[in-house]
């Protein structure tokens, strides 16, 4: 805006003109926003009730202890309901402030923290991992033996190129989980005693760096401890623990008061959701997570509430900004949410490709790139962002509908069935069949 000299020398009139101009711009932008919002379908109340009926049935049948569901459009809740119990054995009802173990829904938060450092020029996706953790300079790649159970015949070879920060952000490092990959890989990871005794991120990553990679860096999308390594890189650059950095830069400014690694208050611990006694895999995973409060796992250690996580999701929907505060620059947000493993990337997809049919993967989050191969295609729209976890938590961000949804539950047994059913109901409520 250009300014003209006020002949009367009346600075007050200049200020008043600028205020009026700003108000007119605001009104105009508001009108544009309202017009855009008017073009976006609103959810059908009758179809939203199908979500209610679905979860009521899941709880009454005994398949699910409870859940909290939030759908938000244009920054405001259009559906927020609780179901069942947060603790069946203690007969504690589900509430909106119930705290859930996020497990892998921790990964998008850790990835945002890393991208903040990229924004500041302190980290680059092109950096070799060994720049921050020298032990990875000596890592070797395992070549599957003729008999995959015969570790005496396992050959090791040097990586064709170093692991990069991008590799640990997009799961192409060759680092896996102890339950993913061929039997020889799983056996070696179990021999690595990753979870013995007490350990923090520094010690955990030191143990991990002694193990061979399951594949050459940059060649295969394979789920694993890569984001845990990223958490350690953040600690090294920031000079503080992962939680201290995330609390200072994300949780406190965003108002995420119940998002933590450790519940160190008795009252807060009573709000923690518990799996069913029959959900043994998740119970074991939760037992391990709670037994290591000193380990701030960037890949799966956070707990949170539906309202906390919805604010984080809204920040992503807004392109890295919420309530006038920017957490990621537009460039960093665009890079994080671009498909880095798609055509031309040279990256193959593991048998266990968790982004799913029709999705690519960026840095810590999946994005819908095409309808996929299923007939009919799975629910959702091109451009949506999402991630989920082994504990049944799930969230999505849809720019075309200006909408976020969060499903928090604690079930490993039923999650693969509930998640697609829930998502289908959400999109049907918006008329996207």
Report if residue 33 sits inside a domain: no
Q: Are 367 and 418 in contact (CB under 8 A)?
A: no
Residue 136: phi and psi, rounded to 5, are -75, -5
Instruction: Identify the CATH number of the domain in which residue 340 sits.
Output: 3.40.710.10
Residues 106 and 150 placed together within one structural domain of the fold: no
pLDDT of res. 372: 95
Go through the chain and tell me how many residues it has.
Answer: 433
Note down pLDDT in tens along the chain; length 433 residues.
333 323 333 333 333 333 343 343 343 434 434 445 668 999 999 999 999 999 999 999 999 999 999 999 999 999 999 999 999 999 999 999 999 999 999 999 999 999 999 999 999 999 999 999 999 999 999 998 877 677 878 899 999 999 999 999 999 999 999 999 888 999 999 999 999 999 999 999 999 999 999 999 999 999 999 999 999 999 999 999 999 999 999 999 999 999 999 998 888 889 999 999 999 999 999 999 999 999 999 999 999 999 999 999 999 999 999 999 999 999 999 999 999 999 999 999 999 999 999 999 999 999 999 999 999 999 999 999 999 999 999 999 999 999 999 999 999 999 999 999 999 999 999 999 7
Instruction: Identify the CATH number of the domain in which residue 222 sits.
Output: 1.20.58
pLDDT of res. 12: 36
Residues 101 and 135 placed together within one structural domain of the fold: no
Report DSSP letters for 218-252, one per residue.
TSEE--STHHHHHHHHHHHHHTS-HHHHHIIIIIH
pLDDT of res. 265: 84
Would you call 355 exposed, middle or buried from its count of C-beta atoms within 10 A (0-12, 13-18, 19+)?
buried
Q: Which of helix, strand or coil describes residue 369? A: coil
Residues 63 and 96 placed together within one structural domain of the fold: yes
pLDDT of res. 36: 58
Angle at which helices 107-119 and 226-238 cross, to 10°? 40
Residues 146 and 215 placed together within one structural domain of the fold: yes
Residues 98 and 187 placed together within one structural domain of the fold: no
Residues 334 and 406 placed together within one structural domain of the fold: yes
Give how many domains the chain has, as a whole number.
Answer: 2
Q: Are 144 and 423 in contact (CB under 8 A)?
A: no
Residues 129 and 101 placed together within one structural domain of the fold: no
HSE-CB at 348 with a 13 A cutoff on CA atoms is 9
Please state, as a whole number, how many other Cβ atoms lie within 10 Å of the Cβ of residue 225: 25
Residues 267 and 231 placed together within one structural domain of the fold: no
Quick one: tokens of 360? 């690519």
Q: Are 411 and 418 in contact (CB under 8 A)?
A: yes
Please state, as a whole number, how many other Cβ atoms lie within 10 Å of the Cβ of residue 140: 13
- Among residues 237, 263, 278, the one where a domain terminates is 237
Report if residue 23 sits inside a domain: no
pLDDT of res. 148: 65
Report if residue 19 sits inside a domain: no
What's the pTM value of the predicted model, to 2 decimals?
0.91
Report if residue 242 sits inside a domain: no
Residues 95 and 135 placed together within one structural domain of the fold: no
Nearby residues of 176 by Cβ (< 8 Å), 6 or more positions away: 185, 189, 214, 222, 223, 224, 225
Which structural domain range is residue 343 located in?
45-111+251-429
Report if residue 3 sits inside a domain: no
Quick one: tokens of 32? 């544009």
Distance in angstroms (rounded) separating the CA atoms of residues 412 and 220: 26
What residue has token string 């050459």?
216
Distance in angstroms (rounded) separating the CA atoms of residues 410 and 283: 10
Report if residue 17 sits inside a domain: no
pLDDT of res. 103: 97
Angle at which helices 45-60 and 415-429 cross, to 10°? 160
**DSSP state, residue 252:** H
Residues 331 and 404 placed together within one structural domain of the fold: yes
pLDDT of res. 154: 86
pLDDT of res. 37: 66
Angle at which helices 226-238 and 201-208 cross, to 10°? 130
Report if residue 420 sits inside a domain: yes
HSE-CB at 79 with a 13 A cutoff on CA atoms is 25
What residue has token string 């950095």?
245
Nearby residues of 328 by Cβ (< 8 Å), 6 or more positions away: 112, 115, 116, 119, 319, 320, 321, 336
Q: Are 351 and 339 in contact (CB under 8 A)?
A: no
Residues 68 and 107 placed together within one structural domain of the fold: yes
Quick one: tokens of 124? 């680059």
Q: Are 84 and 94 in contact (CB under 8 A)?
A: yes
HSE-CB at 243 with a 13 A cutoff on CA atoms is 18
- Among residues 212, 237, 262, the one where a domain terminates is 237
Report if residue 32 sits inside a domain: no
Give the distance, in angstroms, between the CA of residue 231 and the centroid of all CA atoms in the same chain: 13
Quick one: tokens of 149? 């159970």
What residue has token string 């119940």?
258
Residues 291 and 201 placed together within one structural domain of the fold: no
């Amino acid at each position: 805006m250009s300014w003209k000299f006020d002949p009367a020398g009346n600075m007050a009139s200049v200020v008043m003109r600028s205020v009026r101009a700003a108000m007119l711009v605001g009104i105009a932008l508001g009108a544009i926003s309202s017009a855009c919002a008017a073009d976006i379908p609103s959810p059908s109340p009758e179809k939203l009730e199908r979500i209610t009926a679905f979860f009521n049935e899941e709880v009454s049948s005994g398949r699910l202890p409870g859940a909290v569901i939030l759908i938000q459009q244009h920054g405001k809740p259009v559906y927020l309901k609780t179901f069942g119990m947060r603790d069946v054995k203690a007969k504690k009802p589900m509430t909106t402030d119930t705290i859930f173990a996020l497990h892998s829904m921790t990964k998008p938060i850790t990835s945002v923290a890393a991208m903040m450092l990229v924004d500041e020029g302190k980290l680059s996706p092109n950096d070799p991992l060994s720049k921050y953790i020298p032990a990875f300079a000596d890592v070797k790649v395992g070549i599957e033996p003729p008999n995959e159970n015969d570790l005496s015949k396992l050959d090791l070879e040097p990586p064709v190129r170093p692991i990069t920060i991008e590799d640990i952000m997009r799961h192409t490092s060759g680092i896996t989980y102890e339950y993913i990959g061929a039997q020889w890989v799983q056996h070696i990871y179990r021999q690595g005693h990753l979870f013995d005794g007490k350990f923090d991120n520094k010690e955990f990553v030191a143990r991990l760096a002694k193990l061979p990679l399951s594949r050459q860096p940059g060649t295969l999308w394979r789920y694993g401890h890569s984001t845990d390594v990223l958490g350690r890189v953040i600690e090294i650059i920031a000079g503080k623990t992962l939680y201290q950095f995330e609390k200072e830069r994300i949780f406190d400014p965003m108002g995420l008061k119940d998002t933590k690694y450790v519940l160190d208050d008795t009252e807060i611990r009573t709000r923690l959701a518990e799996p069913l006694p029959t959900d043994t895999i998740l119970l074991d995973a939760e037992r391990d997570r709670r037994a290591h409060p000193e380990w701030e796992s960037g890949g799966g250690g956070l707990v949170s509430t539906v309202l906390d996580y919805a604010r984080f999701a809204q920040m992503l929907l807004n392109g890295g900004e919420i309530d006038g505060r920017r957490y990621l620059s537009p460039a960093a947000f665009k890079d994080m949410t671009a498909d880095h493993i798609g055509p031309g990337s040279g990256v193959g997809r593991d048998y266990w490709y968790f982004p799913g049919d029709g999705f690519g993967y960026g840095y810590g989050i999946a994005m819908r790139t095409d309808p996929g191969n299923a007939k009919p295609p799975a629910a959702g729209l091109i451009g949506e962002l999402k991630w989920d976890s082994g504990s049944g938590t799930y969230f999505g961000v849809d720019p075309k509908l200006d909408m976020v949804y969060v499903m928090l539950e604690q079930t490993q047994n039923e999650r693969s069935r509930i998640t697609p059913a829930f998502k289908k109901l959400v999109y049907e409520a918006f008329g996207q069949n």
